[in-house]
């Protein structure tokens, strides 16, 4: 077995922080191994990441190997040395003479590796070149290989920063589009989706319906059971909508205790059936959210694009649905009305 360095666990943590293991091939890394092989005049070059039990190749030039057992790889020896490892004849060195890649396989004869060292000094991997002939690199080739190794580390740092940036952007986009309480689309995101669905329906000559849904006497729930209980009802309603609607339907929370649903491809009667089904689901069973469970009812207004002019915008359709909702409230609540 090849010895492990004394800082092995911190070294591994440093390697894993880069989140590079088992990632896709990357042209920029491949350019660096290609250059390394070219400048050193050898057939093989690798960006080797020395993991707990394996050496995984972020890039390889001249080989199809994906990884090697750590105890079979020269790079596991290289990270034990401060200055990397230069072995002009692998058969003549007791560390490498009996390794499988020396005795069989590619029958490597020369290895030269420069450690990839992170800012904290951990040797996370190696940029190495190999040849099947016994030979020495010139001092200039060794110098260039060291410079390329620094480029590899810089690229690893860059990829890590890009990853952080992407995650931050995804987080911002979540915050901008998601209603925090229910996880549904917020008003802005729902309206953006509604606008594009409306355009699409008109372009394709297909139909589109909309539900506007409002909890009945919600103020009373807050007043009687407290604001957190009111929040629980809203979360429960959000879950019920997610559960009961089709994948192509789009639910959102417009604000307060008002929700909206887009039903692409639904005629007004189909949409009214969906609305009636939702109304009944809510009325039949208390909404659950964790420990809490409260009985509420909802009123729903239904509108279809057929009720607005072909060049009317989204607001007109929402007004029609809102008007129908108002009718449902006026005529007794816990009911569905159509525009």
Task: Name the site residues for ligand GH3 (rule: CB under 6 A).
Answer: 181, 214-219, 222, 227, 230-231, 234, 256-257, 329, 333
Binding partner at 227 among ligand GH3, Mg ion, none, C-beta below 5 to 8 Å by kind: ligand GH3
CB of 300 to Mg ion, least distance (A): 12
Comparing CB distances to Mg ion, the nearer of 163 and 217 is 217
214 is an interface residue for Mg ion by CB under 5 A: yes
Contact 62, 108 (CB under 8 A): no
CB of 221 to Mg ion, least distance (A): 10
Comparing CB distances to Mg ion, the nearer of 249 and 258 is 258
Tokens of 92: 């003549």
Distance (Å, whole) CA 286 – CA 288: 6
Among 35, 218, 276, 294, binds Mg ion (CB under 5 A): 218
Comparing CB distances to ligand GH3, the nearer of 187 and 329 is 329
CB of 330 to ligand GH3, least distance (A): 10
Task: Give the total of residues touching Mg ion (CB under 5 A).
Answer: 5
Binding partner at 193 among ligand GH3, Mg ion, none, C-beta below 5 to 8 Å by kind: none
Comparing CB distances to ligand GH3, the nearer of 220 and 246 is 220
CB of 276 to ligand GH3, least distance (A): 18
* Nearest residue relative to ligand GH3 (C-beta): 230
Contacts of 1 (CB under 8 A, 6+ apart): 71
CB of 298 to ligand GH3, least distance (A): 9
Distance (Å, whole) CA 239 – CA 267: 25
Contact 261, 241 (CB under 8 A): yes
Binding partner at 179 among ligand GH3, Mg ion, none, C-beta below 5 to 8 Å by kind: none
Distance (Å, whole) CA 10 – CA 7: 6
Between residue 252 and residue 271, which ones bind Mg ion under the rule CB under 5 A? 257-258
Comparing CB distances to ligand GH3, the nearer of 84 and 230 is 230
326 is an interface residue for Mg ion by CB under 5 A: no
Burial group, residue 79, by CB count within 10 angstroms (0-12, 13-18, 19+): buried
Between residue 270 and residue 309, which ones bind Mg ion under the rule CB under 5 A? none
322 is an interface residue for Mg ion by CB under 5 A: no
Give the dihedral of Cα atoms 37, 39, 40, 41; nearest 10 deg: 70
257 is known as an active-site residue: yes
Contacts of 212 (CB under 8 A, 6+ apart): 254, 258, 259, 260, 300, 301, 303, 318, 321, 322, 324, 325
- Stretch of 66-74, 206-214, 229-237, 244-252 contacting Mg ion, by CB under 5 A: 206-214
CB of 214 to ligand GH3, least distance (A): 5
CB of 226 to ligand GH3, least distance (A): 8
- Stretch of 83-91, 207-215, 226-234, 305-313 contacting Mg ion, by CB under 5 A: 207-215
Tokens of 208: 């589109």
Which of the residues 28, 38, 180, 257 is marked catalytic?
257
Burial group, residue 37, by CB count within 10 angstroms (0-12, 13-18, 19+): buried
- Stretch of 96-104, 132-140, 251-259, 303-311 contacting Mg ion, by CB under 5 A: 251-259
Residues that bind Mg ion (CB under 5 A): 214-215, 218, 257-258
Question: Which residues are known to be catalytic?
Answer: 257
């Amino acid at each position: 077995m090849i010895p492990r360095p004394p800082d092995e666990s911190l070294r591994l943590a440093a390697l894993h922080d880069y989140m590079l293991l088992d990632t896709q091939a990357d042209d920029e890394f491949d350019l660096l191994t290609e250059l390394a092989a070219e400048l050193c005049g050898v057939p093989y070059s690798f960006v080797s990441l020395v993991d707990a039990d394996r050496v995984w190749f972020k890039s390889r030039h001249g080989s199809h190997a994906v990884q090697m057992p750590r105890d079979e790889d020269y790079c596991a020896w290289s990270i034990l040395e401060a200055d990397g490892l230069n072995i002009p004849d692998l058969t003549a060195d007791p560390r490498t003479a009996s390794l499988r890649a020396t005795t069989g396989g590619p029958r490597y004869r020369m290895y030269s590796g420069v450690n990839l060292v992170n800012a904290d000094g951990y040797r996370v991997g190696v940029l190495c070149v190999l040849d099947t002939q016994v030979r020495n690199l010139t001092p200039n080739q060794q110098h260039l290989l060291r410079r390329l190794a620094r480029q590899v580390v810089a690229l690893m740092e860059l990829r890590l920063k890009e990853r952080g940036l992407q995650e931050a952007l995804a987080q911002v986009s979540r915050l901008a589009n998601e209603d925090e309480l229910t996880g549904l689309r917020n008003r802005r995101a729902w309206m953006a989706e509604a606008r594009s669905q409306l355009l699409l329906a008109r372009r394709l000559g297909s139909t589109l319906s909309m539900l506007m849904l409002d909890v009945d006497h919600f103020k009373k729930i807050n007043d009687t059971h407290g604001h957190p209980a009111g929040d629980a009802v809203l979360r429960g309603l959000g879950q019920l909508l997610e559960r009961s609607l089709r994948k192509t339907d789009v639910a959102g929370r417009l604000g307060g205790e008002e929700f909206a649903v887009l039903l692409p491809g639904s005629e007004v009667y189909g949409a009214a059936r969906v609305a009636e089904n939702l109304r009944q689901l809510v009325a039949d069973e208390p909404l659950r959210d964790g420990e809490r469970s409260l009985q509420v009812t909802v009123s729903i207004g239904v509108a279809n694009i057929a009720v607005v002019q072909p060049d009317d915008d989204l607001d007109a359709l929402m007004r029609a649905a809102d008007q129908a909702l108002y009718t449902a409230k006026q005529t007794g609540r816990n009911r569905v009305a159509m525009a």
